[in-house]
Structure 1
Amino acid sequence: MASILFERIYRAAAAGAGKSLKTLWLLAKIMVPTSLVMAVLGWSGAAKIISILLAPFMKLLGLPGEAAFAFISGILLTNYSAIAVMNSLSLSLRHVTILAFMSLTAHNLAVETAVMKSAGSSALKMALLRVGAAFFGAFILNLILPRSLETVVFSTAMDRASVAFLPMLGSWALSTTKLVGKLTVFVVGIMVIQSELEEFKILRALSAFLSPLMGVFGLPARA
């Protein structure tokens, strides 16, 4: 009996870990090039110039000028590219909270707007709505979030402009490897847990338990 149980646990864990590899590869394809671009921009000094130009506007949202890179990256690509950019900047917990809201509200606009257009929505109106909601929400968060969160450091950028190209590339590779390593632990853990829940039918029970709540939000029970 125990051997059968362990076999099911092992089989589910192996299946979850296998599925996570595809997800990790997808994330790596997005995050590694994005973080490399940011590293080169920082090394060349271009990022500093752009951040100075954007600083007055971003200040209204309680963000430093360079935070615009994370938001723009999320708009053009995905939330994962925004995470990669955030990891390369000097940001506090307050900054990241505001940026996370903005990226979750308006991300991957090209793809998702096309999907909404195919469903009958106006692409322009939906894009403007999401971007507008992101900025409005960020403005409100800047007003209500406690300033004490600025003392909590989320990430620290290296001064890449003062070093040669190859050492800069080495520091980028090290920081990116650490980021990918953290994501690997997180993604594999989540996928294994999900696989175990499915194997022992716990996920189905949770879905049934939460289905009334899904209905409140207008979502199907399987959501």
Structure 2
Amino acid sequence: MNNFVAASQKIAKDSVGLFWIMLKTMVPVMILVRIAMELGLVDYLGVVLEPLMGLMGLPAATGLVLAVGLLVNTYAAVAVMITLLPVESLTVADVTVLLSVVLIAHALPLEQSISRRAGVSFVFSSGLRFVVGVSYGLVLNLIYSAGGWLQQPLELSWLPFTPTLEETWLEWTYSSASLLFTLFWIILGLIIFLKVLELAKITDLIGWLLSPLLRLMGISKAATPITMVGVLLGLSYGGGLIIKEAQEGKMSSRDVVLSLSFMGICHGLIEDPLVMMAFGAHWSGALVGRFVFCVAAMALIGRLVQMMPEDAFNRFLYRPAKAAQAAT
């Protein structure tokens, strides 16, 4: 009984904590986007980003979702998408492509600072995530378009109602608050699901099953456990461990680069896709396709990194001085 109570309290605490993080991110972004839409600023941004979004088969206005995701985080990107729903007709394929790209490339200023502290070039790590993300968006759009899959209009059945531009600010505030309140219960369900996976040791099993794939990327056996921590739990967890290992000289420089590269494009393997799926992304793109594409990309990148001469590697990808400075 005591274990059940403790587990329930932990689930409640984690749910409230994650919901609070989402609120702090989403509410300011939703307000700013609402203002930008009323002033017509979104249209101007759409013109700038239209060529890039068009390559992925996405409406120009969704460029704001990608831009905010790149600079802030996935929650901010979702907030923008929800605010755009009244003026943009999106299909399930559109949302899957868009949010899958955001899953790979998001929060670059913050998250890639972790890689930089470990000695990995900020330009390389950020550029890698952007290029892999957009490349995946291109491929995923071609697949969905060729097969005519997921072309039905997006319907988020759990939304109480979607805010519209015709609403007054008071009405918009009420509908947005209702949306966020409903979101809490989605978050609670996800936390419970993840807890069940943890208790059933399924996350451990997933880590064990996936670890052989790291060999394809050139990541050594010594770096495998830490890499899987980052892939399953997030870049902050795995990146922090790698910074410590790098400072203590327990990981080779190429392991540091390859491990953090894979974490960058494919972290939060379970939790993050589940959140995106709650907002309409299909599992085929947000979970399965993303993982397969990232593994394939890293297999190629790993081979190229291992072939690089030492001087070129230290000049463009890894700065030993950065890791040394972080240790002081």
Task: Please tell me the TM-score bracket, short chain as reference.
Answer: 0.7 to 0.9
Assess if the C-alpha contact under 8 Å between 1:54 and 1:65 holds in 2.
Answer: yes
Assess if the C-alpha contact under 8 Å between 1:17 and 1:192 holds in 2.
Answer: no
Q: Which residue of 2 aligns with 1:179?
A: 179
Is 1:69–2:64 an aligned residue pair?
A: yes
Work out the number of aligned pairs and report it: 209
Q: Which residue of 1 aligns with 2:151?
A: 150
| Alpha-carbon distance change, 10 to 42 in structure 1, aligned in 2, over 3 angstroms | same
Q: Which residue of 2 aligns with 1:103?
A: 102
Assess if the C-alpha contact under 8 Å between 1:14 and 1:192 holds in 2.
Answer: no
Is 1:30–2:29 an aligned residue pair?
A: no
- 1:38-57 deviations in whole A, cap 9, x for unaligned? 11111122212332443344
CA RMSD in angstroms comes to: 2.7
Kindly state the Cα deviation for residue 172 of structure 1 after the two structures are TM-superposed. 3.0
Which stretch shows the higher mean deviation, 129-138 or 71-80? 129-138
1:78 equivalent among 69, 73, 83: 73
Assess if the C-alpha contact under 8 Å between 2:56 and 2:141 holds in 1.
Answer: yes
- 1:93-116 deviations in whole A, cap 9, x for unaligned? 111111112101110000111111
Which ranges of structure 2 fall in alignment gaps of 5 or more residues? 215-223, 233-328
Kindly state the Cα deviation for residue 168 of structure 1 after the two structures are TM-superposed. 3.5
Q: Which residue of 2 aligns with 1:212?
A: 208
Assess if the C-alpha contact under 8 Å between 2:164 and 2:172 holds in 1.
Answer: no
Which stretch shows the higher mean deviation, 14-23 or 212-221? 212-221
**Distance in 2 separating the partners of 1:173 and 1:140:** 38
**Distance in 2 separating the partners of 1:173 and 1:11:** 36
**Distance in 1 separating the partners of 2:126 and 2:40:** 31
Q: Which residue of 1 aligns with 2:12?
A: 17
Q: Which residue of 2 aligns with 1:121?
A: 120
Q: Which residue of 1 aligns with 2:191?
A: 191
| Alpha-carbon distance change, 159 to 175 in structure 1, aligned in 2, over 3 angstroms | closer
1:140 counterpart letter in structure 2: V
| Alpha-carbon distance change, 196 to 211 in structure 1, aligned in 2, over 3 angstroms | closer
| Alpha-carbon distance change, 171 to 150 in structure 1, aligned in 2, over 3 angstroms | farther
**Distance in 2 separating the partners of 1:83 and 1:196:** 26
**Distance in 1 separating the partners of 2:40 and 2:61:** 12
Which stretch shows the higher mean deviation, 208-217 or 94-103? 208-217
Q: Which residue of 2 aligns with 1:40?
A: 35
Normalised by the length of structure 2, the TM-score is 0.57
**Distance in 1 separating the partners of 2:197 and 2:99:** 28
Kindly state the Cα deviation for residue 154 of structure 1 after the two structures are TM-superposed. 4.2
Which ranges of structure 1 fall in alignment gaps of 5 or more residues? none
**Distance in 1 separating the partners of 2:10 and 2:143:** 44
**Distance in 1 separating the partners of 2:139 and 2:18:** 34
1:100 counterpart letter in structure 2: L
**Distance in 1 separating the partners of 2:31 and 2:47:** 21
**Distance in 2 separating the partners of 1:65 and 1:211:** 38
**Distance in 2 separating the partners of 1:184 and 1:55:** 34
Q: Percent identity?
A: 25
Kindly state the Cα deviation for residue 194 of structure 1 after the two structures are TM-superposed. 4.8
Match of 1:8, SS state, is helix
| Alpha-carbon distance change, 25 to 59 in structure 1, aligned in 2, over 3 angstroms | same
1:150 counterpart letter in structure 2: Q
| Alpha-carbon distance change, 10 to 133 in structure 1, aligned in 2, over 3 angstroms | same
